[in-house]
């Protein structure tokens, strides 16, 4: 589907993950990227997760999926859509997020999930913006400016 304005979905496995998602929201607002935020679980709401993922390409350009513990959500979503899926491992267990990271990054061949760092919500949103430049060139300039501001801050 051709969308005139970028729109992405952020999906998390539990409302207990929402705090970490604020990092994504901050970046997406800064880059003027619309998003819907949903709580869905491949474990607890498998039917709704499947329905969402199968229809996602009618509404969204890409999906950020964040989950903790046995974080199957990004991979399961990726299996039902051809949209790019960015996996965000969330630190929500006694294993410090290593469990989520490995669950997300170790996808079997054929169903890729682009995985960012544990709790790397800002980078998940930035990676989304980089991908979106392919279709929405205005974001490119915003990314260049973002990097320039970041460099200026480091140097000052």
Ligand X SMILES: Nc1c(C(=O)O)ncn1[C@@H]1O[C@H](COP(=O)(O)O)[C@@H](O)[C@H]1O
Give the binding site for ligand X (CB under 6 A): 12-14, 16-17, 41-44, 67-73, 90, 92
Nearer to ligand X, 46 or 150 (CB): 46
CA 73 – CA 9 distance, rounded (Å):
13
- What's the closest the beta carbon of residue 108 comes to ligand X, in angstroms? 16
| Residue-by-residue DSSP string for 53-75 | HHHGGGT-SEEEEEEESS--HHH
93 is in an annotated binding site: no
Establish whether 14 is an annotated binding residue. Answer: yes
Give first-to-last CA distance, the chain, whole Å: 44
Q: How far is the CB of 125 from ligand X (least distance, A)?
A: 18
Q: How far is the CB of 11 from ligand X (least distance, A)?
A: 9
Is 17 labelled as part of a ligand binding site? yes
Quote the CA–CA distance of 47 and 100 in Å, as a whole number.
22
Feature table: binding site = 14, 17, 44
């Amino acid at each position: 589907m051709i969308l005139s304005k970028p729109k992405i979905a952020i999906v998390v496995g539990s409302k207990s993950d929402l705090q970490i998602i604020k990092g994504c929201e901050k970046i997406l607002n800064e880059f003027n990227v619309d998003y819907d935020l949903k709580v869905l679980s491949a474990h607890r709401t498998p039917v709704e997760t499947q329905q969402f993922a199968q229809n996602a390409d009618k509404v969204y350009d890409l999906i950020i999926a964040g989950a903790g513990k046995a974080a199957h959500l990004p991979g399961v979503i990726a299996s039902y859509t051809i949209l790019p899926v960015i996996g965000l491992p969330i630190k929500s267990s006694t294993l410090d997020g290593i469990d989520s990271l490995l669950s997300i990054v170790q996808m079997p061949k054929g169903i890729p999930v682009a995985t960012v760092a544990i709790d790397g919500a800002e980078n998940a949103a930035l990676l989304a913006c980089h991908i979106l430049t392919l279709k929405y060139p205005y974001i490119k300039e915003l990314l260049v400016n973002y990097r320039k501001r970041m460099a200026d801050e480091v140097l000052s």
